[in-house]
Chains A and B, each alone.
Chain A
Amino acid sequence: YELTQPPSVSVSPGQTARITCSGDALANQYAYWYQQKPGQAPVLVIHNDSKRPSGIPERFSGSTSGTTVTLTISGVQAEDEADYYCQSADSSGTFVFGTGTKVSVL
């Protein structure tokens, strides 16, 4: 199955960025979000649709509605400029990553 994300999102500092991820499997499976900065390994920022791992700022939040999940970054900071990937898993344990969204902070 596929997870579709917008290629890019642009936002001004202090504003809110919303990144969507759509796929049929999301109606029944949890979604996860990773942040990847250039030249670095990805970092988990949201698990189980909306839970924030320890150490992730509160401005990162996740939500779900039907077959679409959304990562919201409230009060965007320059350091949030990165690529963001959603991910889910089917019942057999096969992972699928979304197509990725580049967040640019203007």
Chain B
Amino acid sequence: VQLVQSGAEVKQPGASVKVSCKASGYTFITYGISWVRQAPGQGLEWMAYISAYNGNTHFAQKFQSRVFMTTDTSTGTAYMELRSLTSDDTAVYYCARDRRDYVDVWGQGTLVTVSS
């Protein structure tokens, strides 16, 4: 079981970033995907969840208006787009296989740097 994420990104303030997460080794639609971020030197912060089965989503309140998620069941890939970036969004973004109340497999992480 593996989740492989897209590479590092550098974005300007106000822009958007889209991170991909390709799953392998399991039936993609059986589990959802959660997105978690970690700012430099800080702890883990859960952002949102998407069901790979039906596309249902659930968000942490602070991300509800800026995070957009999709899945492509034909390729087993999940996507997370974060809009209206600020310097506070500089972080490593992780996707993780969601077991409903926890996650059990993590992607390697994608560093997103927001800088002018």
- Which of A36, A41, A43 has the most B CB atoms < 10 Å from its CB? A41
Q: Which of A36, A89, A94, A99 contacts B102 (CB 8 A)?
A: A89
List chain A residues, Cβ under 8 A from B101: 29-30, 32, 88-89, 93, 95
> Is residue B60 contacting chain A, with contact meaning CB distance below 8 A?
yes
Interface size on A, residues (CB 8 A): 24
Task: Tell me whether A96 and B100 are in contact in the complex, defined as CB-CB below 8 angstroms, given that A41-B94, A41-B108, A42-B106 are known contacts.
Answer: no
Enumerate A49-91 residues with CB–CB distance to B below 8 Å: 53, 85, 87-89
Name A's interface SS: strand
Q: How far is the CA of A98 from the CA of B42 in the complex (A)?
A: 11
Listed in ascending order, the chain A residues whose CB lies under 8 Å from chain B are 29-30, 32, 34, 36, 41-44, 47, 53, 85, 87-89, 92-100
